[in-house]
Amino acid sequence: MRTLLVIGIGAGNPDYLTVQAINAMNRAEVFFMPDKGLEKSGLNAIRLGMLDRFVTNKRYRLVDFAIPSRRQADTPGYRDAVQEWRDKLEAAYRAMFAELGEDGVGAFLVWGDPTLYDGTLRILKDMQAAGWDLAIEVIPGISAPQALAAQHQVTLNRVGEAVTITTGRRVGEGEADALSSAVVMLDNHQVFQRFAPTEAEIFWGAYLGTPDEILVAGPVKDVMAEIDAKRSEAQARHGWIMDTYMIRKPE
């Protein structure tokens, strides 16, 4: 039976790797490396650096696979667009699993944690349910919200409150308007600016855990221009950006 290791590698700092993740990486014969284009080649460079640093058996192989583009859709068609995208990825997975022998061990190095806003595990579980003979192991990693809170030295919740982690799309639809705080991921449109008329604070971070890390904190109305400028400059320089933030209203 083929074994697939879904390994959370944290938010970018190699020191975020757990001992469990390092042990799993040393079991793998093949690492499946997502190709998101030249603009995101820096992500794989970090992955390769982790392999070079922590994997003692250098006989592993790398298998690249292209990440298909996703059709942009508004809210009514969003789920269908995501499912189409996942179907394309599953087709890519089926083709590249031929690189594994009947009892081979392959690994996906997933940014952050595999159970938080990442589709790898769901696709593999769908394949398993469809009859693929796969053993799946999931190794948790330090997520972007954890790294963000640590770097800003804040807690994700206040006394008696829940922790809400959501997306920029849902914040744009008004989901966080009634919340006292929320952690937001996947916001390509800086929808946090909707809170400028309020007293809300933002704790923002990009490239968390990497040498390029950028942190900004303060009232949204006071720092949103700074975030916009730093975000635009960094994206132009690197060709990509990964950022996360927390919005917090006064108690």
Which pLDDT score, from 0 to 100, does residue 120 have? 92
Provide the 10 A C-beta neighbour count for residue 238: 16
Ordered structural domains, the chain, with CATH: 2-139 (3.40.1010.10), 144-248 (3.30.950.10)
Which pLDDT score, from 0 to 100, does residue 132 have? 87
Which pLDDT score, from 0 to 100, does residue 88 have? 79
Q: Is the pTM here over 0.85, yes or no?
A: yes
Pair 124, 93: CB distance under 8 Å: yes
Which pLDDT score, from 0 to 100, does residue 81 have? 75
Which pLDDT score, from 0 to 100, does residue 74 have? 61
Pair 151, 213: CB distance under 8 Å: yes
User: Can you read off the two tokens belonging to residue 164?
Assistant: 């809400």
CA distances from 43 to 9, 77, 98, 197, 226 (A): 11, 29, 25, 36, 25
Which pLDDT score, from 0 to 100, does residue 251 have? 83
- Which stretches of the chain score pLDDT less than 50? 38
Residue with tokens 């579980």: 125
Which pLDDT score, from 0 to 100, does residue 73 have? 58
